[in-house]
Amino acid sequence: MGLDTGNTTQASTESAGATGQQEHTQEHGNPMPLSSLLENNLRELEAIFADSGDIIFHEWGYGPGYQSRACSIYYLSLVQEDKVNFMKHSLQDLETHEVGPGTDITLEEIRDFFEHHGVSAKKADVVHDLRDCVNEISNGRLIILFDGWDKALSYKAASVETRQVDEPVNESVVIGPRESTVENLQKNLGLLRMRLKTPKFKIQYTAGGGDTRTTVAYGYIEGTVDGELLKEFKRRIQSIETVEILETSYIEQLIEDSSFSPFPQHRYTERSDAAVAALLDGKIAVMVQGTGGILLCPGIFTEFFQSSEDYYQRTVISTMLRWLRIVAFIIALTLPSIYIALSTFHPELIPTVLLLAILNAREGIPLPAFFEALLMEFFFELMREAGVRLPRPIGSAVSIVGALVIGDASISAGIASPIMVIVVALTGIASFAMPQYSMAIALRILRFPLMVSAALLGGFGMMICLLFILLHLSKLRSLGQPYMASLSPLRLRDLRDIFLRIPLKNLLRSPRNLHKR
């Protein structure tokens, strides 16, 4: 069998009317069956892909005297040229096994083979609709159209370079696995499948709307996840079919219960072991093509204090780290406001020696404690944000040097007292101790209203603000589940993995299942 190399042509620009009509048909999802005439199909596709410099229309001949015509269509930017040759080898295999060596293949034989018993064997899909052809090409597949056949063959030929599996950047550990998720959806699913060797691990696919048509996958363990929770999640995930999806955080904002709450209602992870542990606990994992993070739904308040390393350390060490994070949470949230309230409204609560030291340090400071704290917090947040945006080799150095220089210069200029620099530094360090970055951001936001309430009413104002935060947490829900589960209502049995981390031999025998409460 011989294949004519033909000529490689790119899509030509058609009239605006034809293009507009085609887009209108696609938008409404009407059936667009392929024509048996190759010219009609090419005319439609050339109008759709007009002005695209990387779209390839490669016409070639086959059969006796190369009289039969076919066309390969693909994106040059998504498909490597050498992968296109496997189409030729596939037809050669068809000639050898189905027609016989030395015999020219015909359209009837190709059609009969792929329509009846050759699709799975040759790793090809038969496409019936023009809209499906467009989607397949956009997903990096090779489409082959034959003159005289109202169907097309779709081959997997995408070849886009992605980041290799490496060590996690935001969730580094001393003990435990060091493999991180990447921007390739299939690789991420493979990492989870390697750890969950059970058919109960179900994966469902959906796609975002608009022009991106981003592939979204969500997984759960059948029999572990609550049925009502899964039903509610599927109801909310349907909203992504009408909007553009570029990153996993888009889905989080579309399905969350309270859009204006500073507290995160779902967790992120880039560790496959942490995602599997959440799945075993009845969670739903959401992954998006092109995004390295995994979204875990729903998120519970107490889970933001837990790290995957807690279960790789001994019980005493893990429990101590849990309490250390709780103390860090309190410090990051309230330390500046406590200093403002004590120094402004309640100096009698400060020990005499410490009070004299504070008054001596604040001597000559022109600003009240509130404005002093507000100014230093602003500088600290500005340096932290600048350190994130700068290139990695110089970002950390600039942020550290900037903090030292600005702190020393502020003290020397008499704008801030040394005790205020210590308070702001401790607050920032405590926020870094939170395992989840999203929770640390919430603390950074809530710190300022607490400072305002402390400056206005002292300790009484602080208690009012903290009470409002507690009421908000008690009312907040994640996918309909109570955000303060295990603490409100209080269940003593569940505290074994919140304030304490009991030995694994007891914890693994009766794992927590939030949906059974």
Q: What are the start-end ranges of the E strands in 147-279?
A: 152-156, 201-207, 215-221, 267-269
31-35, 276-280, 458-462, 487-491: range with lowest mean pLDDT: 487-491
Look over the chain and give the mean of its residue pLDDT values, rounded to a whole number: 81
Model confidence at 400, pLDDT cuts 50, 70, 90, reads low
| Residue 239 vs residue 439, higher pLDDT | 439
Which two structure tokens, joined as six digits, stand for 8? 């490689």
171-175, 304-308, 511-515: range with lowest mean pLDDT: 511-515
Q: Name 385's Cβ contacts closer than 8 Å, sequence gap at least 6.
A: none
pTM for this entry: 0.76
Q: How far apart are CA 265 and CA 256, in angstroms?
A: 7
- For residue 294, the model assigns a pLDDT of 93
Which two structure tokens, joined as six digits, stand for 476? 């907040």
> Closest Cα partner for 218 from 302, 275, 258, 164?
275
- For residue 77, the model assigns a pLDDT of 78
What whole-number percentage of the chain has pLDDT above 70?
82
Q: Name 226's Cβ contacts closer than 8 Å, sequence gap at least 6.
A: 282, 514, 515, 516
> Closest Cα partner for 241 from 232, 250, 249?
250
Q: How far apart are CA 194 and CA 152, in angstroms?
A: 35
Model confidence at 393, pLDDT cuts 50, 70, 90, reads low
Model confidence at 488, pLDDT cuts 50, 70, 90, reads confident
172-176, 229-233, 311-315, 346-350: range with lowest mean pLDDT: 172-176
Domain ranges in the chain are 7-156, 185-299, 313-497
The mean pLDDT value for 83-88 works out to 58
Q: What is the pLDDT of residues 403-455, one digit of tens each?
A: 777 778 888 888 888 888 889 989 988 998 888 889 999 999 999 999 999 99
| Residue 362 vs residue 330, higher pLDDT | 330
- SS3 state of residue 288: strand
Are 50 and 20 in contact, with CB atoms under 8 Å apart?
Answer: no
For 487, phi then psi, to 5°, come to: -100, -30
- For residue 464, the model assigns a pLDDT of 95
Are 260 and 442 in contact, with CB atoms under 8 Å apart?
Answer: no
